Amino acid sequence: MNIIFLGAPGAGKGTQAENAGEKLNIPQISTGAILREAISKKTAAGQKAKKYVDNGELVPDDEVICILKDRLSAPDCTRGFILDGFPRTSKQAKYLENSGIAVDLVIDIEVPDEKIIERLSGRRVCPACGASYHTIYNPSHRGMICGRCEAMLITREDDKPEVVLHRLETYHRRTEPLKEYYGKRGILETVIGQDDVAETTGLVFSIIDNFGARSECEQSPHTARANQ
């Protein structure tokens, strides 16, 4: 099963993509996380991407497509994958379609801009393992220490208020039109992001379960016979 999570920066794509990846036992692929790792390792791709990420701009399509292509060729993607933060432009969406990379389900998480600003101002991330927390909604049980790997939590550079506003503007202009793109293909499902992470996860899981039940039903020999 191949799933895309769409949504504004801070809507909860990463949080829900991780939960869904664990449920389905398939990898969660965050292009943002891959770019941040490349930046921290100062690779050639990271050095090119840094100024875009720090300023809340999208990294040029060709760079991100190249990174994604490489990641999708890894053996752990053969059973399916979850894309978190890709595609973000129509060129990226067309790349998937033209390469024959099937997309089964697109889950759009809707959260109003005012709430996004509140969420991103409280986000703390682990620079070592990438875990993401929120000071109020999803705190680490160890305060400012990562509950998973014990590193000190930090605030992401691009979570500064002025950069968040720019990321939101970029999202509305360049990524939001993808809702219509996938809506027309009949694979878009929308979740209203709740203030409670577990509640949102419940909504996301029920979409995934319904999709699984529908697919099984379509493949069942009984259904095939009944439809004859």
User: Which long-range contacts (C-beta less than 8 Å, at least 24 apart) are formed by 51-54?
Assistant: 53/157, 53/158, 54/157, 54/158, 54/163
Q: Are 131 and 26 in contact (CB under 8 A)?
A: no
In this chain, which of 6, 105, 107, 119 binds ligand AP5, going by CB under 6 A?
119
Backbone phi and psi for residue 46, each to the nearest 5 degrees, phi listed first: -65, -40
Kind plus residue range of the DSSP H or E element containing 82: strand 81-84
User: What is the contact mask toward ligand AP5 in residues 138 to 177, using x (rule: CB under 6 A)?
Assistant: x-------------------x--------x----------
Q: Are 87 and 93 in contact (CB under 8 A)?
A: yes
CA 84/CA 200 separation, integer angstroms: 16
Nearest-approach distance from CB 213 to ligand AP5, in angstroms: 25
Q: Which is nearer to ligand AP5, 164 or 219 (by Cβ)? A: 164
Q: Which of 71, 88, 119, 124 is catalytic?
A: 88
In this chain, which of 56, 82, 95, 107 binds ligand AP5, going by CB under 6 A?
56
Look-up of token digits 């998937």 = 96
In this chain, which of 19, 28, 140, 200 binds ligand AP5, going by CB under 6 A?
200
Which spans of this chain sit near ligand AP5 (rule: CB under 6 A)? 7, 9-15, 30-32, 35, 52-53, 56-59, 64, 85-86, 88, 92, 119, 123, 132-134, 137-138, 158, 167, 193-197, 200
Query: What residues act catalytically?
Result: 13, 88, 123, 156, 167
